[in-house]
Amino acid sequence: MARTSYIDAARLALAEEMRRDPMVWALGEDLGRGGVFGQYKGLAEEFGAERISDAPISESCILGAAVGAAMMGTRPVVEMRFSDFALCAIDELVNQAAKARYMFGGQTRVPIVVREPMGIWRSSAAQHSQSLEAWYAHIPGLVVAVPATPADNHALLKAAIRCDDPVVYLEHKNLWPLEGEVEADAGPAEFGKARRLREGRDLTIVSWSAAVHSAHEAAETLAGEGIEAEVLDLRTLWPWDRDGVLSSVERTGRLLVVHEAVQVAGFGAEVAASVAEQLHGALKAPPRRLAAPRIPISYAPNLENQVRVTADDIAQAARDMTAVETA
């Protein structure tokens, strides 16, 4: 075990998988110089330009080439630089990669990993700050991973690379410097298995990506007030740990779903609806969502902060929920 940053944990995972399997390679813009955030630093020197491949500025070209290469037996890791930019290649991902296995009756698969740095980061404004995970969770054929810790950015990326289906891999830009314990050469994580950060009896808080850390901070504050919140990090949104969430909420009787993405039609709605449908008779309060308003993210820091979901916001929502029970 070594203390490693979120960004370095993913770089370590990619290097380990490339050493293990010669069919793993990466392509995207600026990879030869280490990537726009430094995610690929040093990999071109070890693996050469054929496996750390620089591409022209054309997201549709990059992803289209990766889909074809994957169907021919390689395992491309595709770098989209920002999740917002990946929208230029949405046809290749949604209409081609996601559907090929089904449309060809299982005769081909598309084992690609599409890395899409997501989320609010340093006044990056409306076209560089979005969290679009709900879009991909809606598409049959796609796996959706949302790592929140360095350990998960290592283990989930390994799982994504070994997966035979296309994986949309969403790394939050604000987590790049986050440090944590990571075991080198550790095996892949299990998709669809949530991580419980802390136990609680009064409320279940479900979250993913960077919002997990705000949820945990809020739970620690609440514990000092006598409110014990259980915090679950979903880790993947498809598959998602439905059984784990239902089991937790069945014990606590309350659900608060927290995410950075826009609340309207966000994945939190899927979680809340599933709990309401299955546990309506056991709930002490209606499920609640806490997420961003449906507005573009501003460049100005004071306006950007208006769409952030903070630990204080989460703690207050939890107080409100535990103060009132359904009749």
128 labelled catalytic: yes
SS3 state at 144: strand
- Token readout for 68 is 């074809």
CA 320 to chain centre: 28
CA 120 to chain centre: 14
Phi-psi region of 120 (alpha: psi -120 to 50; beta: other; left: phi over 0): beta
Could you tell me if 74 and 26 are in contact, meaning their C-beta atoms sit under 8 angstroms apart? no
Question: What is the CB neighbour count within 10 angstroms for residue 65?
Answer: 17
Question: What is the CB neighbour count within 10 angstroms for residue 100?
Answer: 19
Query: Prior bond to 239 cis, omega within 30?
Result: yes
- Catalytic one of 128, 154, 172, 213: 128
Could you tell me if 258 and 215 are in contact, meaning their C-beta atoms sit under 8 angstroms apart? yes
Distance CA 58, CA 235 (A): 30
In a 13 Å sphere around the CA of 136, the CA atoms on its Cβ side amount to 32
The catalytic residues are 128
